[in-house]
Homo-oligomer: A and B are copies of this chain.
């Protein structure tokens, strides 16, 4: 039986998917395949951040309401054009926000601090400091600066910075194709009316959702009956088509053994068979021809928790995302509302409902069997009991991962 942290270590050797070039407008949420370095100083020219008058800041020193300083207005900067004139001493030019400063200017005084006195002449009513109300060349970023790291999942603002430097196309990692195979003789398709003793296939749909959430492309390869030859055929097809395969197990030991045997006959390298996690202990991780294969527990809650803690980081890894750990990105600190028993030697993940009490958040455990799915839907978070702990004490501060 392996610890969760030891399973994670195995991901270092997983092969990353290939790359593709896509238009910038389709790049949201994709994973960058190379580092983006600034090819220029930005902004490339001194830009006004206000509507006002460009001038030499030093010429305004000493100006006040009672002793304003007059300036000659020698031009007006047009948006999107470089000024064709140069400012001399005591000269100013109107400049709109975003406009380029003319040569000779090193500051902009806001229109509110200026008084018009006659055609082509203004009075400045207060001094400005050099470069006040100006964005200097390279002030946002400088040529050669690393703007976006390889492996970054692109956010909206990242697309903005790519556009700024003229990247109409980006090279990203392909979306990992993840094959999903269901097993278990008690499982019927969602559209079927289950007979007594049967239940509908929920794990396949949940897994498709998790794969999409992580930016992968799920491919449901259907349900196979608990016959070894059928499972081997389905796995062979999956390994050919996909970058990763998830086998959503039936819940019985018999089905689990079947998955292990089928993998063995396929010549799989079985890396993990049993993990120190609850729920989710009977998890299997193997590789066939460099394709990682997960044998997941059949109980829906176990399946979901193993997917979140173990499968998704491995999916990020093959999808090129860095960092691919920790498994949960979003968490809060909370106090636990009751004692939580737990066995030492395994990580426990407990479904919790959150409740705000003043400034504090309290987490109420939903004690439920691992076959229950609704607690994962109702629950707003997962509370982790560390490997070496034997439980939690009411009122203790804990980390809750948000679902």
> What is A's interface to B at a CB cutoff of 8 Å?
24-25, 27-29, 43-45, 47, 49, 51, 78-83, 96-100, 135, 139-141, 147-148, 154-168, 184-188, 190-191, 193-210, 212-213, 218, 220, 226, 250-255, 298-300, 304, 307, 330, 332-333, 368-374, 376-377, 402-403
CB distance from A343 to the nearest CB of B (A): 15
Chain B residue nearest in CB terms to A77: B197
Cβ-defined partner of A158 (8 Å) among B83, B370, B377: B377
**CA distance in complex: A332, B330 (Å):** 9
Q: B250, A79: Cβ atoms under 8 Å?
A: yes
Residue among A97, A187, A202, A304 with the most chain B CB within 10 A? A97
Q: What's the minimum C-beta distance from A281 to chain B, rounded to whole angstroms?
A: 12
Residues of B within 8 A of A158 (CB): 209, 377
A185-B79, A190-B168 are known contacts. Are A28 and B197 too (CB-CB below 8 A)?
Answer: no
**A43-B199, A304-B160, A403-B157 are contacts. A141–B252 as well, Cβ < 8 Å?**
no
Interface contact A184-B98, CB-CB below 8 Å: yes
Other-chain contact of A197, B45, B155, B207, B402 (Cβ < 8 Å): B45
**Known contacts A164-B373, A197-B45, A374-B140; A25 and B252 CB within 8 A of each other:** no
In the complex formed, the residue of B with least CB distance to A403 is: B155
Q: How far is the CA of A209 from the CA of B23 in the complex (A)?
A: 13
Contact with A139, one of B81, B100, B205, B372 (Cβ below 8 angstroms): B372
A163 pairs with B374, CB closer than 8 A = no
Chain B, Cβ-Cβ closest to A140: B372
Number of copies: 2
Q: A156 near B213 (CB under 8 angstroms)?
A: yes
- Kindly identify which residue among B196, B298, B374 contacts A44, using a CB–CB cutoff of 8 Å: B196
* A-B pairs with beta carbons under 8 Å apart, 15 shown: A97-B251, A98-B199, A98-B371, A139-B372, A154-B209, A156-B208, A157-B206, A159-B206, A159-B208, A159-B209, A163-B204, A163-B205, A164-B300, A166-B191, A330-B330
Contact indicator B28/A213 (Cβ below 8 Å): yes
- Which residues of B have CB within 8 Å of A204? 163
CB of B190 within 8 A of CB of A166, answer yes
Contact, CB under 8 Å: B141 / A374:
yes
| A168-B97 Cα distance, complex, nearest whole Å | 54
Nearest CB in chain B to that of A330: its residue: B330
**Within the complex, what minimum Cβ distance (angstroms) separates A72 from chain B?**
23
- Chain B residue numbers with a CB within 8 Å of A162 are 205
CA distance A333 to B163 in the complex (A): 33
B377 lies within 8 A of A157 (CB): yes
Report A105 CB to chain B, min CB distance, Å.
Answer: 14
Contacting pair A51 B213 (CB below 8 A) = no
